[in-house]
Amino acid sequence: MIDRTTDEMWLSLNSEEQQAVSALQQEMGLETPAEVMHTLLRQAAQRALVVCPSCGHGARKLASDEASCVECMSVLHLTDGIWQVITLQ
C-alpha cells in the first residue's frame, strides 16, 4: 500500500530564489525551507479562493471577474474587489 499523504515535490531554485527562501524562513521564524514553501502555497491558494457570499461554499472562477458557486449555483461577479451575487439560483 502506498501512503499518498506525504507526496513530495522537488524544486530547483536558483541562488536568488534560495536566498529569498532563506530570508523568508528567518523573517517568518520557520524551521525549514519546506515550511516556507508550504506557507507560501497556502497563502497563494487563499488569494485564489472564491467563497460564495450567499452560502459560504467554494465557487469556481469562470472568468477573472465571474464565478459560479458549486453548491447553491449562484453566479457571482467581482466588483471593487468584492464577490457579489448577481444571480441566485
Residues 54, 76: one domain? Answer: yes
How many domains is the chain built from?
2
Residue 65 in any domain: the answer is yes
Residue 7 in any domain: the answer is no
Residues 57, 85: one domain? Answer: yes
Residue range of the domain that includes 65:
50-89
Torsion of CA 30, 32, 38, 43, to 10 degrees: 30
Using CA atoms, how far residue 16 sits from 22, 29, 40, in Å, is 10, 20, 17
Residues 54, 27: one domain? Answer: no
| pLDDT-derived band at 9, boundaries 50, 70, 90 | confident
Residue 2 in any domain: the answer is no
Residues 29, 54: one domain? Answer: no
- pLDDT tens across 28-78, in order? 999 999 999 999 988 887 777 899 999 999 899 999 899 999 899 999 999
